[in-house]
Every structure is written in structure tokens, then in C-alpha cells.
């Protein structure tokens, strides 16, 4: 009887584990197909409730692109996509209203805050000085984590973003 219980227990454990792992991820085909059909190559993504932000490559130039994932429309970001800018990292708040980007302009690497409602871009100054590399905005858009290189040492700075 004890041997039977061991076998039954092992059987149910295997059945449970296999049923948990058999769930498939379901891709959002309409959005994925739209991304693949565009003439752009995408990398470095960020996601809000309704927007997908990517760094996309168009011809020989990289741009920041925002795509409404419900209707697949691309939103204009003229203020961020200057011809002399190369985006490095982006992050967006859950409501999609605040976007933070690290961009290289000429020989300078900048940390930029973009507010979609007003269309204004503001440079954020890092103190002590350093070169920003990656950004991650919290869901509310009020705290920013920035990976900063300071003379070969990598630090993480947390910056409060006033609403």
C-alpha cells in the first residue's frame, strides 16, 4: 500500500508540473505583424498600458517610436527625433504621458524627459556628473532609475520626477 501511495504521489506531481508548463504564450499577432511589416528594425522596447515604445532603425538612422498597441498607429515624436540624435535607451510611464530617453547628440550623451501632453523636452542634469546609459521609469512616472558611468564605475541613480 505504501509503494502504491508513493507511485500515485509521483504521478500526480508529474501531472501537475506538466500541466503548469504546458500553457502557451499567446502573441498579439496584429501588433506583431504590424511591426514586422514596417520598414523599420526594432530593438530596446518599453511598454505602457496602451503604448509600445521602441528604438527603431530606419535606413541608417535610429529613432524613438511610440506605437498605440490598440490601433497600431505610430505617434509623432519630432521633439525627440532630431536628425543629429541617436537614442540609446528609453522608458515610458504606464499612462504613456512621460517618456525618458538617453540620446547621443554630437559627442554628448544626454538624459531627456519628454511630456507627451505638452510636447516639451527637458534635459535632466545628473549630479555628480556622469554618462547616462540605461533608464527605467516606474509605472507612475515619478521615479527614474538611471545607469550612469562615472570614470569607468557604473552607478545607479534614482531621480524623482515631479508631475
What is the DSSP code string of 108-156? EEEEEEEETTTTEEEEEPPSS--EEEEEEE-TTSSEEEEEEEETTEEEE
Report percent pLDDT > 90 for the chain: 44
User: pLDDT tens across 105-150, in order?
Assistant: 988 999 999 999 999 999 999 999 999 999 999 989 999 999 999 9
pLDDT class for 12, splitting at 50, 70, 90?
A: low
Compute the Cα dihedral for 65, 70, 72, 76 and give only its sign: negative
The SS3 assignment for 9 reads: helix
Lowest mean pLDDT among 18-22, 94-98, 152-156: 18-22
- Can you give the pLDDT at residue 118? 92
pLDDT class for 10, splitting at 50, 70, 90?
A: low
Cβ atoms 21, 14 nearer than 8 A: no
- Can you give the pLDDT at residue 134? 96
Count of CA atoms in the C-beta half-sphere (13 A) of 67: 22
Q: In terms of Cα–Cα distance, which of 144, 136, 156, 147 is closest to 109?
A: 147
As a whole number, mean pLDDT of residues 14-25 equals: 59
- Can you give the pLDDT at residue 97? 93
Where along the chain do its domains lie? Answer: 28-160
* Location of C-alpha cell 538624459: 111
* Residue 143: all three cell numbers together: 521615479
> Tell me: domain 28-160, CATH 2.120.10.30, correct?
yes
* Location of C-alpha cell 519630432: 78
- Can you give the pLDDT at residue 8? 53
Higher pLDDT, 27 or 127: 127
- Can you give the pLDDT at residue 69? 84
Higher pLDDT, 91 or 47: 91
pLDDT class for 72, splitting at 50, 70, 90?
A: confident
Q: Supply the mean pLDDT for the chain.
A: 83
- Can you give the pLDDT at residue 152? 94
Residue 152 CA to residue 131 CA, distance in Å, equals 10
Amino acid at each position: 500500500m505504501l509503494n502504491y501511495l508513493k507511485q500515485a504521489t509521483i504521478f500526480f506531481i508529474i501531472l501537475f508540473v506538466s500541466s503548469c508548463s504546458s500553457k502557451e504564450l499567446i502573441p498579439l499577432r496584429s501588433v506583431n505583424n504590424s511591426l514586422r511589416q514596417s520598414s523599420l528594425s526594432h530593438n530596446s522596447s518599453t511598454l505602457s498600458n496602451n503604448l509600445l515604445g521602441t528604438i527603431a532603425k530606419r535606413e541608417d538612422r535610429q529613432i524613438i517610436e511610440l506605437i498605440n498597441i490598440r490601433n497600431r498607429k505610430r505617434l509623432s515624436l519630432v521633439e525627440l527625433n532630431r536628425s543629429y540624435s541617436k537614442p540609446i535607451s528609453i522608458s515610458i510611464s504606464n499612462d504613456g504621458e512621460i517618456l525618458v530617453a538617453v540620446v547621443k547628440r554630437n559627442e554628448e550623451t544626454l538624459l531627456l524627459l519628454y511630456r507627451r501632453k505638452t510636447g516639451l523636452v527637458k534635459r535632466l542634469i545628473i549630479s555628480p556628473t556622469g554618462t547616462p546609459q540605461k533608464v527605467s521609469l516606474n509605472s507612475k512616472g515619478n521615479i527614474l532609475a538611471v545607469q550612469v558611468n562615472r570614470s569607468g564605475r557604473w552607478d545607479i541613480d534614482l531621480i524623482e520626477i515631479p508631475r
